[in-house]
Amino acid sequence: MTNPETTMPAPEFKDRKVGLIVFGILQIILGVICALLIPFMILGLIMSATINKNAGGAMPLGMAVASVLIYVFMAVWFIWLGIGSVKSRRWARALTLVSSWLWLISGVSGFIFMLALMPDMYGQMARDGKIPQAMTAIMTYIMLGFMSVIYIVIPGGLVLFYGRKDVRLTCERRDPQPRWTDKCPLPVLAISLIFAVWAVAILMTGFYGWVMPCFGYILSGIAGAGVSLATMAFLGYAAWGAYKLDIKAWWVGLLTVAVWTVSVAITFWRVDIMEFYAKMNLPSQSLELMKQYNIMKSPLMTVFFVFWVVAFLAYLIYVKRYFKGLAEPKLSVNAHHDPGK
């Protein structure tokens, strides 16, 4: 006969299998849309290169390849997580929740930035005769509506659903085998993911000539490649070590962010940011538009840069509690498993 005092009943919760399928299909659709955009993007790049061959408006090959690779990554990411969600996989729920939070936070900040910048930008375009004056408000509302859906509504919906306790318990019940994402707390998994994406982003600068800001100078070529690859190595170590909860990786990540921040601040205090983009071999038409509408020199850029750095450093300090110190005392086997301890 079973002793009722020692029997632990299974937690009661509402099974969210249907929701996991619905939101999984949503992510698969997002991935398919990204995949379908790839051939259209390639066709557009070919047409742009043909039309603007002598007008300085054609996108360099390296930049075109980088743009296509971004959409390839997004397509694979969404489809992979969507399939995992349909199958109620624990790792799919964890990665979707973490990446959706990052998507939502960056989306909200980007939306606020564009909300402040767009009226002036469209107003200037109307004064230059590039768009009718009556169209400025309509274009602003359409663009903000589109951005609110892409940057806020979709990631917000994913966060609300995958962050529910019932969803977590459903995945744990239907996928009882511990997965690799279970070995790392979700707040630290977010840090690991950020460092990993940052490392890949730096690697992508190779398509732009390895252009890197470095303590007051704009490096490119071999020098830029050296600094870029070294930074990528530090970030890669921080990403992997963070997942392993290694305190050394936390310090490497913190110092890398701090050094990078100081380097960028000194560089763009001494050097015009348009020189940075010119060395990336952006199309001359794009550079002219950036100069004309003063997009990159807006004080808002400085405000958002400072905000993001401070917020990220604060978050790094917050998650430090999850990392294991080098001299952390080890519990004995008996003490570790003793429920009374």
Using one digit for the tens of pLDDT, what is the confidence trace for 3-49? Answer: 444 444 455 778 899 999 999 999 999 999 999 998 888 887 777 66
Give strand pairing partners of 67. Answer: none
In a domain, 30, yes or no: no
Query: Which residue in this structure is represented by tokens 């020098």?
Result: 223
One-letter-per-residue 3-state SS of the chain: CCCCCCCCCCCCCCCCHHHHHHHHHHHHHHHHHHHHHHHHHHHHHHHHHHHCCCCCCCCCHHHHHHHHHHHHHHHHHHHHHHHHHHCCCHHHHHHHHHHHHHHHHHHHHHHHHHHHHHHHHHHHHHHCCCCCCCHHHHHHHHHHHHHHHHHHHHHHHHHHHHCCHHHHHHHHHHCCCCCHHHHCCHHHHHHHHHHHHHHHHHHHHHHHCCCEEECCEEECHHHHHHHHHHHHHHHHHHHHHHHCCEHHHHHHHHHHHHHHHHHHHHHHHHCCHHHHHHHCCCCHHHHHHHHHHCCCCCHHHHHHHHHHHHHHHHHHHHHHHHCECCCCCCCCHHHHHCCCC
Question: What are 235's two structure tokens?
Answer: 């970030």
Q: What is the per-residue pLDDT for 327?
A: 41
* Angle at 5 (CA atoms; ends 2, 7), nearest 5 degrees: 55
Q: Which residues are CB-neighbours of 324 under 8 A, at least 6 positions away?
A: 245, 246, 247
Query: Which residue in this structure is represented by tokens 């043909």?
Result: 50
As a whole number, mean pLDDT of residues 299-326 equals 86
Q: What is the per-residue pLDDT for 251?
A: 96
In a domain, 297, yes or no: yes
Q: How far is CA 183 from CA 45, 58, 179, 186, in A?
A: 43, 47, 8, 9
Would you place residue 273 in the very low, low, confident or very high pLDDT band (cuts 50, 70, 90)?
confident
Task: Tell whether pTM > 0.85.
Answer: no
Work out the percent of the chain whose per-residue pLDDT is above 90. 55
Instruction: Look over the chain and give the mean of its residue pLDDT values, rounded to a whole number.
Output: 84
Would you place residue 333 in the very low, low, confident or very high pLDDT band (cuts 50, 70, 90)?
very low
Pairing label, strands 217-219, 212-214: antiparallel
Query: Which residue in this structure is represented by tokens 């349909």?
Result: 86
In a domain, 305, yes or no: yes
In a domain, 100, yes or no: no
As a whole number, mean pLDDT of residues 73-94 equals 96
Would you place residue 54 in the very low, low, confident or very high pLDDT band (cuts 50, 70, 90)?
low
In a domain, 90, yes or no: no
Query: Which residue in this structure is represented by tokens 């990078």?
Result: 260
| More confident call, 279 vs 96 | 96
Give strand pairing partners of 296. Answer: none
Range of the domain at 205: 184-325
- The number of residues in the chain equals 341
In a domain, 81, yes or no: no
As a whole number, mean pLDDT of residues 124-146 equals 75
Burial class of 317 by CB neighbour count within 10 A (0 to 12, 13 to 18, 19+)? exposed
Residues 208-265: tens digit of each pLDDT: 889 999 999 999 999 999 999 999 999 999 999 999 999 999 999 999 999 999 999 9
* Number of other CB atoms surrounding residue 275 within 10 Å: 12
Residues 234-243: tens digit of each pLDDT: 999 999 999 9
In a domain, 116, yes or no: no
In a domain, 214, yes or no: yes
Burial class of 262 by CB neighbour count within 10 A (0 to 12, 13 to 18, 19+)? exposed
Q: Is the pLDDT of residue 141 over 50?
A: yes
Q: What is the per-residue pLDDT for 139?
A: 79
Q: How far is CA 286 from CA 289, 291, 297, in A?
A: 5, 9, 15
Going by C-alpha positions, the residue among 216, 229, 231, 224 that lies closest to residue 279 is 224
User: How many structural domains are present in the chain?
Assistant: 1
